Chains A and B, each alone.
Chain A
Amino acid sequence: MKNAKLWLVGYVIALGVVLLAPLASSSPDGLEAVAEEHYFSDKAQDPPFQIIADYVFPGIENEALATILSGFVGVTLVYALVVGLAYLAYRRVGARTATSHTG
Chain B
Amino acid sequence: MIISDSLLLLAESGGQPLHAPDGFFSMPVIAAGWIVAVALLAIALRKTDRLLNERMVPMMGVLAAFVFAAQMLNFPVAGGTSGHFVGGAFAAIVLGVWPAGLVMTAVVATQALLFQDGGLGALGLNITNMGFVSIFVGYGLYRVTARLGAQGVALTVRAFIAAWASVVASAVAVTLQLAASGTTPLEVGLPAMVGVHLLIGIGEGLITAAALSFVMATRRDLLNLSASAPA
Contact = CB atoms under 8 A, between A and B. Distances in A.
B114 A41 contact: no
On chain A, which size bracket covers the interface? 35 or more
Interface in A2-42: 3, 6-7, 10-11, 13-15, 17-18, 20-21, 23-42
B29 to A, nearest CB: 13
Contact of B22 (A45, A52, A67): A45
B148 interface: no
A47 B119 contact: yes
Interface string B107-148: 100110111110110000000000000000000000000000
A32 B119 contact: no
Nearest to B52: A90
Contacts of B183: 40, 43
A38 B72 contact: no
A77 B23 contact: no
B165 interface: no
B64 A24 contact: no
B68 A74 contact: yes
B103 A77 contact: no
A75 interface: yes
A34 to B, nearest CB: 5
Interface residues of B, number: 80
Contact of B68 (A14, A30, A33, A51): A14
Contacts of B57: 83, 86-87, 90
A55 B115 CA distance: 6
B62 A28 contact: no
A69 interface: no
A65 to B, nearest CB: 13
A20 B57 CA distance: 27
B76 A79 contact: no
A24 B74 contact: yes
A43 B23 contact: yes
A98 interface: no
A81 interface: yes
Interface of A: 1, 3, 6-7, 10-11, 13-15, 17-18, 20-21, 23-45, 47-56, 63, 67, 70-71, 73-83, 85-87, 89-90, 93
20 contacts: A10-B59, A24-B82, A25-B75, A26-B14, A26-B15, A27-B76, A27-B82, A28-B80, A28-B81, A28-B82, A29-B81, A30-B83, A31-B19, A34-B196, A41-B10, A45-B23, A52-B115, A54-B16, A74-B69, A78-B67
Interface of B: 2-3, 6-7, 10-24, 48-50, 52-70, 72-77, 79-84, 102-103, 106-107, 110-111, 113-117, 119-120, 171, 174, 178, 183-184, 188-189, 192-193, 196-197, 200, 219, 222
